[in-house]
Amino acid sequence: MQVLQMQLEVRPDPAEVGRARRWARSRLAGSGIGVDEPLSETLILLISELVTNAVVHTGTGAVLRMCFSGSGAVAGTVRVEVADSSARPPRPRHADGDDTHGRGLELVDGLADRWGWQPEGAGKRIWCEVDRARPLPFAPEGQDASYAPGSACRVTHHAV
C-alpha cells in the first residue's frame, strides 16, 4: 500500500477557507482526481466545512491534511483531517428552515463514508474519509505505507 499525505497551515481568518479550497483543488488534481469529478467536489465541500468550523468556532489556526491511500496504483481512500488547538468537541447542530448556519457536520455525516474526532495534544482532530478506486500516478506497486482507512494520516510528504 502507498500513501501520499499533504498538509496546509490555516490561519485563524475566515478568508483562509477559500485559500484551503484552492490549495486542495490543486492537490487533488495532482493526485489524479480531476477537478470536475464528483469526488473532487465532494472533498472540496468536506474540506470547506471542516476548515470553516475550525476557524469560525475556535478562533484559532488549524492544520488541514489530506491523505491518499491505495494498493499499487489504485487510490482506495481519501482522508481529510483538520486539527485545531481547541479541546472543545465538535457539536452537531440542526438548522431550521432558512438558517444559514448549523448544517456543516450534517453535511459531513451525509457525504463522508466515515467521520469522527479525537483529542490531539491540547486540541482535537476532526477527520472524514471517502472511499474510492482510481489509478494514481504516485503509487508504485509493491510499496508499503503506514496508512489504512480508519487510521490517522502519517506525514510522508509535507506541502505548505
**What is the model's pLDDT at position 38?**
87
Q: Assign 3-state DSSP to the chain and report helix, strand, coil percentages, each to 5.
A: 30, 30, 40
Tell me which residue range forms the domain holding 53: 2-135
- Quickly state the pLDDT bin for 3 (edges 50, 70, 90): low
- Looking up residue 118, the CATH number of its domain turns out to be 3.30.565.10
- Quickly state the pLDDT bin for 159 (edges 50, 70, 90): very low
**What is the model's pLDDT at position 49?**
94
Rounded-to-integer distance, Cα 137 and Cα 139, Å: 6
Task: Give a yes or no: residue 117 inside a domain.
Answer: yes
3-state class of 10 per DSSP?
strand
Task: Give a yes or no: residue 129 inside a domain.
Answer: yes
Q: Residue 142 pLDDT > 60, yes or no? A: no
Rounded-to-integer distance, Cα 123 and Cα 111, Å: 25
Question: How, if at all, do strands 62-71 and 74-84 pair?
Answer: antiparallel
pLDDT in tens, 47-78: 999 999 999 888 889 999 999 886 544 457 89
Q: Residue 146 pLDDT > 60, yes or no? A: no
Q: What is the mean pLDDT of residues 148-152?
A: 57
Task: Give a yes or no: residue 150 inside a domain.
Answer: no
Task: Give a yes or no: residue 142 inside a domain.
Answer: no
Task: Give a yes or no: residue 140 inside a domain.
Answer: no
- Quickly state the pLDDT bin for 136 (edges 50, 70, 90): very low
Q: What is the mean pLDDT of residues 90-110?
A: 71
Terminal CA-CA length for the chain: 25
DSSP run (H or E) holding 104: helix 104-111
Q: Are the CB atoms for 128 and 79 separated by under 8 Å?
A: yes
Question: How far is the CA of 24 from the CAs of 39, 42, 44, 118, 146, in angstroms?
Answer: 12, 12, 7, 23, 22
Q: What domain count does the chain have?
A: 1
Residue that wins the pLDDT comparison between 141 and 107: 107
Q: What is the mean pLDDT of residues 124-140?
A: 70
Task: Give a yes or no: residue 147 inside a domain.
Answer: no
